[in-house]
Amino acid sequence: MTPPRSVIAIAALFLLPAAVLAAPPASPPLVISHVNVIDSRTGAVLADRDVTVRGDRIASVAPASRAPRAAAAAVLDGRGKYLIPGLWDCHIHLCWTTGSALPLCVALGITDVRDLGGTLSQIEGWRARIADGSLVGPHIMRVGPILNGKAFNQYQFVPGSVEATRGVVRLLAALGMDAIKVHRRMPRDWYFAAIDEAKKLNIPLVGHIPMEVTPAEASNAGQTMIEHTETLFEGTFSAKLTPDQVPSAIHDWLATDQPDTLFATFVRNGTWLDPTLAGGLESVDIFDASAPPNPHSKYVAASQRKEWADNAKKNPVSPADLATFRARMNAFVDVTARMHRDGVKLVAGTDAAGPRIPGFLLHHELAALVRAGLTPLEALQTATLNPAIAFHREADLGAIEAGKLADLVLLDANPLERIENSERIAAVIESGKLYRRLDLDRLLAEAERLAAKN
């Protein structure tokens, strides 16, 4: 009996000469020549370096005068420019921002993101296409769906009981999620069940502090990262306060020794904090009808812009509420300053979702952290070195060193002199692929086009 053609075709693959089956030849190495390399660990500027990239890895970082130039290497002139590691947005909601955020992130030097709650199938689809090169976007860590006591949107899930919560944590761990996220309305007993199960499975638990749990309890229980400075005051702190009383109550609290005691607990337990200041600060302007339009709003999905505009017409924010919102955000900046002074470890995230502008918001977060007292180097570390440490990726990311992944951003000016220079991007290298300025402009145009149709 003659075998079916499909079987013959498959068998033929194993009979082809080795030369036919061999992988295609590797692309030529890339050399970023005569560039100033910023050491993300120390802040030293290593002048006149040649950085050689082979495949998706950094092959060498050497003085330009002594660096052997690989034959047929592609060369990117780095004279007068500054090279930093690729940036992280440690808190984004990609399904909510829609896929227009993917090329936008890369165009703005964001090569890694941590998605804090979306539709898993959509996230997985994007990850697969980014990995095979058919879609431009950052590397995506998956954290979600969001576990809560009540579902306020489609990205939140209510387990239903203590035992069900344990089961959900086991399921998410089995699915390969990078962390478990909890939200503010999660009942106290569900929360402690979730964190206990997560510790057994060696998977981090991150998120808001539930309203029935104190920040110290969350840290002592083993919550790895706390999302938003705001969450320190969402539950037990403000339970008996009106919204307009919260800002002054926070400043009264800062005048005591209680913050130092709490933040010492965070430091002792290794609890990280993701302040997400810029999203709130810029939301004040989104609420303020008198504020001039943001020119970058064209990168927000049209559906989100419409939903926000419709809601603003139905539920306008009063001047008094706007003033309270602004005062609260300024208070959170002051709290973040205190945390930093006390040695709490920080990462940079934006909470980009809905009308908040992805990509650009990460650079504004760095500026907000400088406003909170971080030096430009410390702010830059929150989006480079610190996430690599926090997410156990230091072997691959966070610094410009031989052997690490080639996720790099070439800047026209030194961000250590002025953190806003992080936006002056000349080129981006993601997993060894070079995007020159013209390529980045095309990505911006693509992001704008996608936002208009989504």
Strand positions, DSSP E, 55-155: 57-63, 74-77, 82-85, 87-92, 110-115, 139-147
Check residue 404 and give its pLDDT: 98
User: Considering the chain, what percentage of its residues have pLDDT values greater than 90?
Assistant: 80
Spatial contact of 258 and 214, defined as CB atoms under 8 Å apart: no
Q: Which two three-digit tokens encode residue 330? A: 């300024």
- Greater confidence (286 vs 277) lies with 277
Backbone angles phi, psi at 46, to 5 degrees: -90, 105
Check residue 422 and give its pLDDT: 98
Domains of the chain: 86-396 (3.20.20.140)
Mean pLDDT of 395-419: 98
Element (H, E) at 36: strand 30-38
pTM value is 0.91
Q: Which two three-digit tokens encode residue 410? A: 């070439």
Kindly give, in sequence order, each residue whose CB lies less than 8 Å from that of residue 57, ignoring residues fewer than 6 positions away: 403, 404, 405, 406, 432
Check residue 67 and give its pLDDT: 66
| Res. 24: pLDDT tops 70 | no
Q: Which of 23-32, 262-271, 351-360 has the highest mean pLDDT?
A: 262-271
- Greater confidence (135 vs 293) lies with 135
**Residue 113 CB neighbour total at 10 angstroms:** 29
The SS3 of residue 239 is coil
Q: Which two three-digit tokens encode residue 363? A: 């650079």
**Residue 230 CB neighbour total at 10 angstroms:** 22
Check residue 28 and give its pLDDT: 86
Can you tell me the distance from the alpha carbon of 84 to that of 384, in angstroms, rounded to the nearest whole number?
Answer: 8
Q: Average pLDDT over the chain, rounded to whole?
A: 91
Per the listing, tokens 């769906």 go with 145
pLDDT one-digit tens code per residue, 291-313: 888 899 999 999 988 888 888 78
H helices present in 59-205, as ranges:
94-97, 101-107, 120-132, 162-174, 188-200
Per the listing, tokens 């033929």 go with 12
Check residue 17 and give its pLDDT: 37
Check residue 331 and give its pLDDT: 96
Mean pLDDT of 243-252: 95
Check residue 235 and give its pLDDT: 85
In terms of Cα–Cα distance, which of 82, 7, 11, 22 is closest to 49? Answer: 82
Rounded-to-5 percentages of helix, strand, coil across the chain? 45, 20, 35
Can you tell me the distance from the alpha carbon of 327 to that of 333, in angstroms, rounded to the nearest whole number?
Answer: 10
Element (H, E) at 447: helix 437-453
**Residue 221 CB neighbour total at 10 angstroms:** 16
pLDDT one-digit tens code per residue, 181-206: 999 999 999 999 999 999 999 999 99
Name the maximum alpha-carbon separation found in the chain: 89
| Res. 8: pLDDT tops 80 | no
Distances, alpha carbon 66 to alpha carbons 34, 37, 49, 112, 210, in Å: 11, 16, 9, 32, 56
